[in-house]
Amino acid sequence: MPRSLAGDFSGQGLRVAIAAARFNSAIVERLVDGAIDGLTRHQVSDDGITVARCPGAWELPLLCQRLASSGNYDAVLALGCVIRGDTPHFEMVANECAKGVAQAGMAAGIPVIFGVLTTDTVEQAEVRAGIKAGNKGFDAAMAAIEMSNLLKQV
Ligand code: INI
């Protein structure tokens, strides 16, 4: 039987930082709510959750890097929303954000989860922020718990 490693979804004792962009805040605050809901429903305590807000998706990588390398957290969630329709420099903001968030995780060696919506329209963003069903903030919280618990076993 091969040895199999997998993280479970118990958040007890985990310390999680949420880095949230204020740009498109009506959407992003729904992601923050979804993330906190996901974390607390999986036994992460209120004391174990820190929310840090920055101006926009462009600033998320640096904030994530600081949070991730502080030694104070088991995982970091990057939450933001970049909408193509309103953003002539969409590709630049979205690509740099994705690259920088990934680098923050690699440099710090803890999970830094990409919960940034990149959509063509506000309506698409609303759907993914829980206006109908499914919330990418909640999904990001699940990925953070699973990865934190997986990495403890590796
Ligand atoms: N920031 C976002 O998070 N989403 C966007 O859609 C967006 N648009 O449209 O430009 C955006 N811009 C701001 C950017 O992230 C920085 O905060 C700003 O350029 C200052 O560095």
The count of C-alpha atoms lying within 13 angstroms of the C-alpha of 60, restricted to the half-sphere facing its C-beta, is: 37
Beta-bridge partners for 2: none
Say how many Å lie between the CA of residue 106 and the centre of ligand 1: 24
Q: Best of 58, 101, 136 to mutate for ligand 1, by most ligand atoms within 8 A of CB?
A: 58
- For 14-39, what is each residue's pLDDT tens digit? 999 999 999 999 999 999 999 999 99
Place of tokens 């729904």: 30
- For 66-122, what is each residue's pLDDT tens digit? 999 999 999 999 999 999 986 788 999 999 999 999 999 999 999 999 999 999 999
Catalytic residue status for 89: yes
- The band of 55, judged by pLDDT with boundaries at 50, 70 and 90, is very high
Say how many Å lie between the CA of residue 59 and the centre of ligand 1: 8
8 A C-beta contact, residue 145 and residue 7? yes
> What is d(CA 124, CA 151) in angstroms, rounded to the nearest whole number?
33
Residue 60 has pLDDT above 80, yes or no: yes
Q: What is the pLDDT of residue 99?
A: 98
Residue 123 has pLDDT above 90, yes or no: yes
For residues 54-67, average pLDDT: 98
Q: What is the pLDDT of residue 88?
A: 80
For residue 145, give the amino acid letter: I
Consecutive H or E run containing 39:
helix 25-41
